[in-house]
Structure 1
Amino acid sequence: MSLLITDECINCDVCEPECPNNAISVGPQIYVIDPALCTECVGHYDTPQCREVCPVDCIIGDPRHPESASELEQKFRRLTGQA
């Protein structure tokens, strides 16, 4: 599933540059993740890099965008032109 940044975000700026898909951007109040671009780093890394660097653990699975590992792999292929 896509990831979601919760209201606990402190706008520390460490997650955005870690995203290989450029899915993270500055929102009106906190950083946001574009579910159309988030693959949980599938195809790039073994674990979501934003979660690895987040100092407050405010990045969770987005229940509004459930996706299987296979679907995330397909999204990765589509985003990188490997489809």
Structure 2
Amino acid sequence: MAIMITDECINCGACEPECPNTAIYEGGIEWNWSGGTELKEVEMEGGDVIDGKELQEPVSDEFYYIVSGKCTECMGFHEEPQCAAVCPVDCCVPDPDYEETEEELLDKKAWLHNE
């Protein structure tokens, strides 16, 4: 499953540089699919195709957040999610809304990085 950041976040920013997929953003900051990935275009659930550089709405305006579609739990990069490993308040936790198998996470990594 993807990782999420709870509202216990103290906005220290320790997690952001650790993410190999650039899936972590400061609260209020827009994000895009291409940042930290090889994605040029992304097909959305409804079938629309968007430019990977198109800015997306922040998931949170208050706290650092993780874009679940870009989170692979560091699978294929590290033994454990690096955001959780460096978080001083243990607010990087599994997101129950995005349960994925190891195979699904590795497939997502391959998709993100054109492997």
Which of the five TM-score ranges fits, normalised by the shorter chain? Answer: over 0.9
Identical positions, percent? 51
Q: Which aligned runs of 4 or more in structure 1 are off by greater than 6 angstroms?
A: none
Q: Note the C-alpha offset of 1:26.
A: 1.1
Quote the residue 1:8 is aligned against.
8
Quote the residue 1:74 is aligned against.
107
> Which amino acid is 1:73 matched to?
L
Q: How many residues align?
A: 82
Structure-1-length-normalised TM-score: 0.96
Q: Note the C-alpha offset of 1:60.
A: 0.8
Quote the residue 1:18 is aligned against.
18
The CA deviation string for residues 13-68 of structure 1, in whole angstroms up to 9 with x for no partner, is 10000001000001210000001100000011111100110000001111111101
Quote the residue 1:32 is aligned against.
65
Quote the residue 1:56 is aligned against.
89
Local SS of the residue matching 2:8: coil
Structure-2-length-normalised TM-score: 0.70
Q: Which has the larger radius of gyration?
A: 2
> Which amino acid is 2:14 matched to?
V
Quote the residue 1:47 is aligned against.
80
5+ residue gaps, structure 1: none
